[in-house]
Chains A and B, each alone.
Chain A
Amino acid sequence: MKIKGVLENYTFILPAVAIFSVFYVIPFVWVFQLGLFEWDGISFARTFVGLQNFKEIFFQDKSWWQSMWNASYITLIALTFQNILAFMLAWACDREIKMKNFYRVIFFIPPVLSEVVVGMAWRFIINDIDGANIINRTLTGMGMPNLVHNWLSDPNTALTTVALVHCWKGFGWGFLIFLAGLQTIPRELYEAARVDGASAWQSFRKITIPLMIPVMVLVAILTVLGTMQVFVLIVSLVGGEFAGHTSVPVLRILASMRGSSRFGYACAQGITFGMVLIAISFIQYRFSKGRQ
């Protein structure tokens, strides 16, 4: 009977939905309703304040929106620099060259390293006081001493530097997924194009790019979700929020939870953050649907 078939279908999703309802939905509801309270995270008593937390976030909390702006900036750099680099590397590796396997392993090392190590190592490399100052020394050695800079301690360059280090850590994932995608484009298409007299650039533009668009959208969505939540790297590179210049939403939420013991407010911030992420992903999804 039809009903038996439908029930059978439900068993496929049963384990997922069961675990999801218990371990995600319940905490989510708890956190969601906490956004309407004023609570210090310790006492058993909580005060209901309605939408006051949200009002404060939207109208009074300048540092929150600054952190959102910073996170968006880092994400933008990730979407462009990181993903373009990953794509170029994947394209370079998608051919019969020597040491292909070697590169495939090496490029995945940054994502494997813990963010603490990455922060420490890069701080060591870039920083001129407590580090080896390699970048500045190389610039001077290459004859460009006027480009030397306090990359991490100058408020104007700190955020960009952090963004670049984050790109370095993240491009391995994009590389992997792009490579997998490139490898599935049938070689015959390229052969046919070459026979027809198309140049390398033309076959890239007409064959590779259109077929890779779904992959690019996938990587873009995952990049946005992952990068907006960055925070460990920032603490290990610049010690904190650097007077707001390297502030990010997760750090602000943690500050509300621990620093000011405003657990309810932190939950409201978390909800706001989630809503923004959903909005961005929705726009990305719609944009990709339109392209296709």
Chain B
Amino acid sequence: MKAAIYYKTKKLAVNTLIHLFLISVAITCLYPLLWMIVSSLKTQDMIFKDISLIPHQFRLENYIKAWQEGGFGRNFLNSILYTSSVVFGIVIISSMAAYAFSRLRFPGSKWLFIMFMAAMMIPIPGSFVALYVLLNKLHLRNTPIGYILCMINVGLSTSIFLLKTFFDKMPKELEDAARIDGCSKLGIWWHVALPLAKPVLAVVVVFNALTVWNEYILALIIFDNRQFMPLQVALQTFQGEFVTNYPLLMAGLTITALPIIIVYLLMQKYIVKGVTQGAVVG
């Protein structure tokens, strides 16, 4: 009897500690988010005067103002277009390449893969100017296609790396079965490899979506037309040269953060449901 109570209390104690740990970390995560939201509801002169988290002002019109002044309508759609095209492109292109590097044999595969890996590790600062001149020569400057192709390249190496690591560990039985059934290589990739790779693909989607959604400097340099600009560029108009309109900026940032959180919410169940076939297990 005593032993049972002892173990029960021990388990309760351990669980409480675990919960305390999780909650304290969660609080630190929530604080800046709350600060951002609460600030977006204030007026400019109250932003730094009033430090409590409890909002005394509820200027929801800040959101409407931010939307209108920032020209969010068009830019929002642009961002969605760019992000979805880039993510879609990367998922297809990198999974095909990763599958090939992992499962198919052809001369030069090892060296090509190393090249992609090296690209992941060598950032090119100042590449904006190079890309600008390049796109100019290809007559793709100031076009959405040019921007999308550049952004696909940005996420390509890491995505290929992540996917190849996964494909390497994937058990071969399912593929062999499909091949015996007469499936083409492309078919195996589409019907067998991709569904198994759902968790990693979800990570790739979230990672690239975040990258493209938050990108602004390449867009600012490549596009000359306001109508092509993504959301982040529009957001910068609140960060004036001298005056930063903090409430509107915070409202804009909150609006900007929402779609990505939604994407994450949609994808995270794939990541964690996991696959029983040793996804990342050695």
Contacts and interface: CB of A to CB of B under 8 A. Distances in A.
Interface of A: 6, 8-10, 12-13, 15-17, 19-20, 22-24, 26-28, 30-31, 41, 85, 88-89, 92-93, 97, 102-114, 116-118, 121-122, 124-125, 130, 132, 168, 176-177, 179-181, 183-186, 210-211, 213-215, 218, 222, 225, 229, 250, 253-254, 257, 263, 266-267, 269-271, 273-275, 277-278, 281, 292
A213 B282 CA distance: 8
Contact of B122 (A20, A41, A277): A277
B93 interface: yes
**9 pairs of A and B residues whose beta carbons are closest in the complex:** A274-B122, A12-B100, A121-B32, A27-B130, A23-B153, A16-B97, A183-B274, A9-B104, A9-B106
Contact of A23 (B120, B149, B261): B149
Contact of A28 (B36, B107, B124, B256): B124
A218 B121 contact: no
A263 B124 CA distance: 12
A228 B135 CA distance: 29
Determine the interface band of chain B, counting residues with CB < 8 A from chain A: 35 or more
Given A108-B264, A109-B33, A113-B36, A257 B97 contact: no
B64 interface: no
B101 A23 contact: no
A129 B94 CA distance: 48
A19 B149 contact: yes
Contacts of B126: 31, 253, 257, 263, 266-267, 270
A118 B31 CA distance: 10
A114 B130 contact: no
Interface of B: 15, 18-19, 21-22, 25-26, 28-33, 35-36, 48, 51, 92-94, 96-97, 99-101, 104-107, 109, 112, 115-127, 129-131, 134, 149-150, 152-153, 156-158, 160, 162, 165, 169, 185, 189, 199, 203, 206, 210, 214, 250, 253, 256-257, 260-261, 264-265, 268, 271-276, 278-282
A292 to B, nearest CB: 7
A25 to B, nearest CB: 8
A66 to B, nearest CB: 18
A10 B109 CA distance: 9
Given A8-B185, A183-B272, A30 B130 contact: yes
6 contacts: A10-B106, A168-B29, A213-B282, A254-B125, A263-B126, A277-B123
Nearest to B53: A132
Contacts of B92: 15
Contacts of B33: 109, 113
Given A15-B93, A15-B97, 10 more contacts: A9-B185, A16-B156, A17-B112, A23-B149, A24-B124, A103-B22, A112-B264, A122-B32, A180-B199, A184-B281
Given A184-B279, A186-B276, A214-B280, A112 B271 contact: no
A132 B51 contact: yes
A176 to B, nearest CB: 6
Contact of A177 (B30, B149, B160, B203): B203
Given A118-B32, A180-B272, A278-B118, A9 B100 contact: yes
A217 to B, nearest CB: 9
B110 to A, nearest CB: 12
Contacts of A168: 28-29
Nearest to B159: A16
A30 B19 CA distance: 53
Nearest to A89: B25
Given A30-B130, A177-B203, A185-B281, A13 B97 contact: yes
Nearest to A200: B14
A184 B36 contact: no
A225 to B, nearest CB: 6
A13 B131 contact: no
